Structure 1
Amino acid sequence: MRDDEMVSAYLEHTRHLAHKVVHGADPYGTALCVMGATLDVFTTYEHAGDVYGLWGALTDWVELKPDEEALAVGHMVSAAREWLALDHEDDDAVRGYLVRWHDFVGYDANVVG
């Protein structure tokens, strides 16, 4: 599979997973799946590290502060909704999304400008 085909397949898969985060019964478990899927494109998708870091921070929130699980899951749902609304072909939009969310979760985004 060519790199561009791999990235396209990844983006389609993450849209499906984001939909499951929003509408499914297990947002946390699905967020872990986003992280797993992202590992497959670390060398082919320029934003993979930041996507992984974002969803890692959101899932860590649940793991490290279980008393805040409902709040963390609410933010997972919001991040997933925004991911679904993104034009993934618009690099500036993707970078903006990642910077906003990384700033929110306190993760130092490695987003290149």
Structure 2
Amino acid sequence: MEDAEAFRAEVRAHVTTMLNGGASPYEPAWEIWGLAGRTWPGDDGDEACYSLQLIWGALTDWVELRPAEADQAETHMITAAREWLIIEGDREAEARYFDRWVHDILGYERQAPMQS
């Protein structure tokens, strides 16, 4: 699947499932992580899958590696999902979302600017 719209529609479906409640958000979060890891719609100029893979990978790893904190991780999953539905499609808002979630919330180190 190299089509950005198909990729985003599938992510949206998993996010919607997560927000419908009734079950743990872990499974749809894991599905988003897997989808982002095996899809690259960059041909359409859409590189969201890279950041989505980092976000959902970190959140699912949190549940797996620190099960005592699963409730906290799942609360973050719900928050990330809600925020994604609000901003998805607005590339500037997405860039802010990715920056905040990847670096500020999940703690991935920011890359130093390249020196020329």
Residue of structure 2 equivalent to 1:77:
78
Segment of structure 1 superposing worse, 99-108 or 50-59: 99-108
- Whether the 8 Å CA contact 2:24–2:74 is kept in 1: the answer is no
Residues 109, 50 of structure 1: alpha-carbon distance in 2 compared, 3 angstrom cutoff: farther
Gaps of 5+ in 1: none
What SS does the aligned partner of 2:14 have? helix
Residues 33, 109 of structure 1: alpha-carbon distance in 2 compared, 3 angstrom cutoff: farther
Gaps of 5+ in 2: 112-116
User: If the length of structure 2 is used for normalisation, what is the TM-score?
Assistant: 0.81
Shift of 1:43: 5.1
Alignment of 1:57 with 2:43, yes or no, is no
Shift of 1:109: 5.8
Within the candidate set 9, 13, 33, 1:12 is matched to: 9
Shift of 1:47: 2.1
**Higher Rg of the two aligned structures:** 2
User: If the length of structure 1 is used for normalisation, what is the TM-score?
Assistant: 0.83
The size of the alignment, in residue pairs, is 106
- Whether the 8 Å CA contact 1:21–1:80 is kept in 2: the answer is yes
Residues 9, 76 of structure 1: alpha-carbon distance in 2 compared, 3 angstrom cutoff: same
- Distance in 2 of aligned mates of 1:109 and 1:21: 29
| Identical residues among aligned pairs (%) | 37
Residue of structure 2 equivalent to 1:32:
30
Residues 68, 36 of structure 1: alpha-carbon distance in 2 compared, 3 angstrom cutoff: same
- Distance in 1 of aligned mates of 2:74 and 2:54: 16
Shift of 1:76: 0.1
- Distance in 2 of aligned mates of 1:57 and 1:46: 18
Alignment of 1:91 with 2:83, yes or no, is no
